[in-house]
Amino acid sequence: MGEMVREDGGEMVREEGGEMVREEGGEMLLTSTLVVVVVVVVVVVVVVDVVVVVVVVVVVVVVVVVVVVVVVVVVVVVVLVVVVVVVVLVVVVVLVVVVVVVVVVVVLVVVVVVVVVVMVVVVVVVVVVVVVVGSDV
């Protein structure tokens, strides 16, 4: 068996025990080596392409999922903010209505009390005047 195979002027030779022995079919060996190299390069390129495609698909899927999650979170936050704003507005409107109703009722009660007091005073004054004037007559 040869210890080393090398190309010498286009032919393949091997060294056996210090002698150079020409190999027959050296071109065939070179051609099969080229075929193996080409096949290995093609397989490596195909594997790299597949890995790149898989990485790109995974990145695109992750980006789409992140975008969808962000959009859903934004929509939920906006809906919650709108709901909170609407609830606050409803509470404010209800409070304003209650305050207005209470103020109107208090004003009406005060007006009625004042009118009743004025009427009572007028009646008392009239009765006093009638009694005082009637006793002089």
List the Cα angle 72/74/80 in 5-degree steps.
Answer: 100
pTM, rounded to two decimals: 0.45
Q: What is the pLDDT of residue 80?
A: 96
Q: Specify the residue for token string 């193996």.
A: 36
Greater confidence (134 vs 14) lies with: 134
Please report, for residues 25, 117, 123, the alpha-carbon distance to residue 130 in angstroms, rounded to integers and kept in the order given.
155, 19, 10
CB 2 within 8 A of CB 21: yes
pLDDT tens for 53-100 read 999 999 999 999 999 999 999 999 999 999 999 999 999 999 999 999
CB 20 within 8 A of CB 13: yes
